[in-house]
A and B are shown apart, each in its own frame.
Chain A
Amino acid sequence: MSFQTDLLNHIPIDPLTGAIAVPIYQTSTFVQEAPGVNKGYDYSRTNNPTREVLENLCAKLENGAGGFAFSSGMAAIDAVVKLLSSGDEIIAVADIYGGAYRLFEKVYSKFGIKTHYVDTSDLTQVEKAITSRTKLFWIETPTNPTLKITDLRALSQIAKEHNILLCVDNTFATPVSQRPLDLGADLVVHSVTKYLAGHSDVIAGLVVAKTEELAQEIRFYQNACGAVLGPFDSFLTVRGIETLQYRYQAHCDHAQKIAEFLEGHELVRRVYYPGLPSHPGYGLAGQQQKYAGAIISFDLHEDRSENALAIIRHLKQFKLAESLGGIKSLVSLPCEMSHKTLPECQRQQSGISDSLIRLSVGLEDVQDLIRDLERALEYGQSVAPDREQDLEQAPDAATVPFPNAPVQLRESCC
């Protein structure tokens, strides 16, 4: 049976009414026959029938023993870090998502959990960083925003040898393209807000555990700490996942065409996209991913954020916003937005240059998207050098004006 058919078969028909859509059990509590005697549900923080449909579906998608839905992607990441104890160490991918970086550095460092950041696309660097205290490998592949690829199968071998848990943030690839548990990972997390829910209308997160033992631990923290996903958002997410395969395929198809267009453009210095042979992870991505994804980053020969801003300002189809993975195309400037919390040197080392633009390619007609980029790129070269002065004098980079996009830039959202 195909993946898509199997997926749809995992969304149950309501046994009471025959309803073909999943009922929204918008209830806080469940009636008990006697103290502790219930029908499998007692309180919606612990368990809820609508959320359970989503959790079972996601466990199926990622081929794990248990799935757990959280109120945001960050809450899902947080649940995994709670598996560690004070004194434990994490080895994390260097160009880590800014929100995860903030969680590790500003929250968990306080509790004695130390994180080392290494370029995990080079496994020798990972091995060098391992200490007797290393308990968790934290991987994003492809990474955000330069789309570096980490060899999950090889890394999982190292993890097993050293008794280290391997957790993969699979938000960019989605289980349609890559199944980290099948490649040896122990845990998968998702910002469900992105491709899984898919319509930019839900904030949600997910953890899938490979073994029943790990699933029990995550279940404990989910209930004990309580950052669960509500029934209505669970319903919306199930609805999103029903079309995940078709959406994701189309997203990737559009992205491939756009990446090829950008690579041929004279203003563009580098295009980061795992579906291009020029990308360092091209071969590896082809082995462990079914599709190359729908996030593209590129920077400019004139590597100044002002030039990038001029392009962003003139894009009409790509809206300036945090987040990614929705139906509508988005653009962001990582150095000012998602990766603003990274230290300057770590940011530059990760390839997040001042002119790096990240695209989340949506489902508009791809020719319209290419025309939009073509037109906006013309403005990238017309920025007069003397205006550079103005930018340097700006007191706070967070208030750099975007005349066409009155967005208040905040610290890293995604």
Chain B
Amino acid sequence: MSTKEQCFETQAIRTQLEKSPFNEHSSPIYLTSSFTFEDAESMRAVFAEETEQYSYSRFNNPNSQELVDKLCLLEQAEAGYSFSTGMAAIYCSFAALLKAGDHILSCSCIFGSTLGIFNNIFPDRDIHTSYFDFYATEEEIEQLVLPNTKVIFLESPTNPGVDLVDLELVNRIAKKHGLLFIVDNSFATPYLQTPVTWGADLVVHSATKLIDGQGRVCAGVALGKKELIHRIYLFSRTIGASLAPFSAWILSKSLETLHVRVDRHCENALAVAQFLENHLAVETIKYPFLPSHPQHHLAKRHLRQGGNIIAFRVSGGLDGANRFIDSVKLCSRSANLGDTRSIVTHPATTTHGRLSVAERQAIGIYDDLIRLSVGLENVKDLITDLDQALKQVTETSDGKL
């Protein structure tokens, strides 16, 4: 059985570096900046890209190679490269593939720092971005395609609204207009969704999220067509945003348990979502695997399970949201997500705080919106904590009434 025929779980566990002469069971950590060569000729050949060998850890390292090899199998991608953060993966991927005068077509519901690159950094390099709504029709999106459009980009499920974008529809547009189709798959992970199978040319990840899953490591990856990855590699190894070997080693270990962790994350999240849906202090809630989610059918088509992120609006406006966040006792107040520990975030004042009120409202980030990253604590304890925090919200609202 070739590794490509193996199932997801087996690939996540059994993809490993070639064993050293010592036959170690777990991969060594190659905490080395450089590698040595037998002779001048072999060194010349490597630098001329005639042969492949490790030379310098800014370029590549056995530990990052193991991580990338594994993720390529999981995402069904041809090749990949790893980065020091998710944002480095996004910046380097776009900067390597685009040039001055190019145009990006992006879904408007994307991570705030990605919006920062598109809106504040790329315009200075004469790369401009137009945005479509996650619910836009095929015609509406096509109207935004310009002669110089090179890329169509999206996140699905979106951050923080947990809306979905139809990958099949976007792929049709991409292929029709010859655009590179790039997906940020951080929320779903390859365990729940594989964008390459829907036609994506490139998948990027903040591996800091569910891939690490334990809040230890910042990292990013880009995975996709070999030719694209090679361009990204040549750019990135010069820029130098490469992943540290120790972080890569930890992430490869993390992937061994991704499927069991994400199974439980999703199971907990569904139970929490069902609880929140019936709570008086919750105005609206979105979770992809609740039948009440407007795109529930699309979610069932794209995702194996509903993921671990829930977006909900509490009663009492900004005050209610603050009251809720201040009242949680078990959940952490943090801006990260995808950790074993459940996290509550207020997107309007943190992850998306740099957007104007109008920009925020256009993508559904209201002052009363809470993003909940459901962790692996016992779900009863989580519900107890959320319940007592929501009671604080209700009491305030009632008091005002």
Contacts and interface: CB of A to CB of B under 8 A. Distances in A.
A16 B21 contact: yes
B249 interface: yes
Contacts of B33: 20-21
A240 interface: no
Interface string A22-47: 01111111111100001111000000
Contacts, number: 89
A389 interface: no
Contact of B23 (A23, A31, A235): A31
A40 B249 CA distance: 24
B34 interface: yes
The listed residue with most A CB atoms (<10 A of its CB), out of B26, B33, B34, is B26
Interface string A6-27: 0000000111111111011111
A351 interface: no
A49 interface: yes
Give the interface SS of chain B, mostly helix, strand, loop or mixed.
Answer: loop
Given A18-B36, A20-B35, A41 B23 contact: yes
A16 B62 CA distance: 10
Contact of A39 (B22, B30, B54): B22
B contact residues, range: 20 to 34
A30 to B, nearest CB: 5
Contacts of B30: 14, 17, 19, 21, 23-24
B22 A25 contact: yes
Interface in B275-317: none
Contact of A19 (B18, B24, B54): B54
A50 B62 CA distance: 17
A53 B17 CA distance: 21
Interface in B10-35: 18-35
Interface string B35-47: 1111000000000
A18 B28 contact: no
B21 A39 contact: yes
B53 interface: yes
Contacts of B36: 13, 18-20
Nearest to B20: A16
The listed residue with most B CB atoms (<10 A of its CB), out of A18, A19, A33, is A19
A contact residues, range: 20 to 34
B23 A30 contact: yes
B31 A24 contact: yes
Give the interface SS of chain A, mostly helix, strand, loop or mixed.
Answer: loop
A23 B32 contact: yes
B242 to A, nearest CB: 15
A28 B28 contact: no
A39 B31 contact: no
A18 B23 contact: no
Given A17-B62, A23-B20, A28 B26 contact: yes
B25 A23 contact: no
A132 to B, nearest CB: 47
A30 B23 CA distance: 5
B26 A26 contact: yes
The listed residue with most A CB atoms (<10 A of its CB), out of B28, B33, B53, is B28
Given A17-B62, A18-B54, A39-B21, A27 B28 contact: yes
A56 to B, nearest CB: 14
A221 B35 CA distance: 36
Nearest to B18: A16
A25 B24 contact: yes
Contacts of A23: 20, 28-32
A16 to B, nearest CB: 5
B54 A25 contact: no
A13 B32 CA distance: 11
A31 B19 contact: yes
B21 A27 contact: no
Given A17-B54, A19-B35, A28 B21 contact: no
Contact of A41 (B22, B31, B249): B22
B53 A18 contact: yes
Contacts of B29: 23-26, 232, 235
B41 to A, nearest CB: 14
A30 B25 CA distance: 5
B60 to A, nearest CB: 11
Contacts of B249: 26
The listed residue with most B CB atoms (<10 A of its CB), out of A17, A28, A232, is A17
Nearest to B35: A18
Contacts of A21: 30-33
A206 to B, nearest CB: 21
Nearest to A43: B25
A229 to B, nearest CB: 16
Interface string A167-187: 000000000000000000000
Given A16-B20, A18-B53, A20-B33, A26 B28 contact: yes
A27 B25 contact: yes
Contacts of B28: 23-27, 49-50
The listed residue with most A CB atoms (<10 A of its CB), out of B22, B26, B32, B36, is B22
A235 to B, nearest CB: 7
Interface in B44-74: 53-54, 62
Nearest to A30: B23
B25 A28 contact: yes
A41 B24 contact: yes
A69 B175 CA distance: 61
A49 B24 contact: yes
A370 B223 CA distance: 58
Contact of B26 (A19, A27, A49, A235): A27
Given A16-B18, A30-B23, 16 more contacts: A18-B54, A19-B54, A19-B62, A20-B35, A21-B30, A21-B33, A23-B32, A24-B30, A25-B29, A30-B24, A39-B21, A39-B23, A40-B22, A41-B22, A232-B29, A235-B31
18 contacts: A13-B36, A14-B20, A18-B37, A18-B54, A19-B62, A20-B36, A21-B31, A23-B30, A23-B32, A26-B28, A27-B26, A28-B26, A30-B22, A31-B19, A33-B23, A41-B22, A41-B24, A232-B29
Interface of B: 18-38, 53-54, 62, 249
Interface of A: 13-21, 23-33, 38-41, 49-50, 232, 235
Rank and list the top 9 A-B pairs by shortest CB-CB distance, nearest first: A21-B32, A27-B26, A24-B29, A19-B32, A23-B28, A18-B35, A27-B24, A18-B36, A25-B28
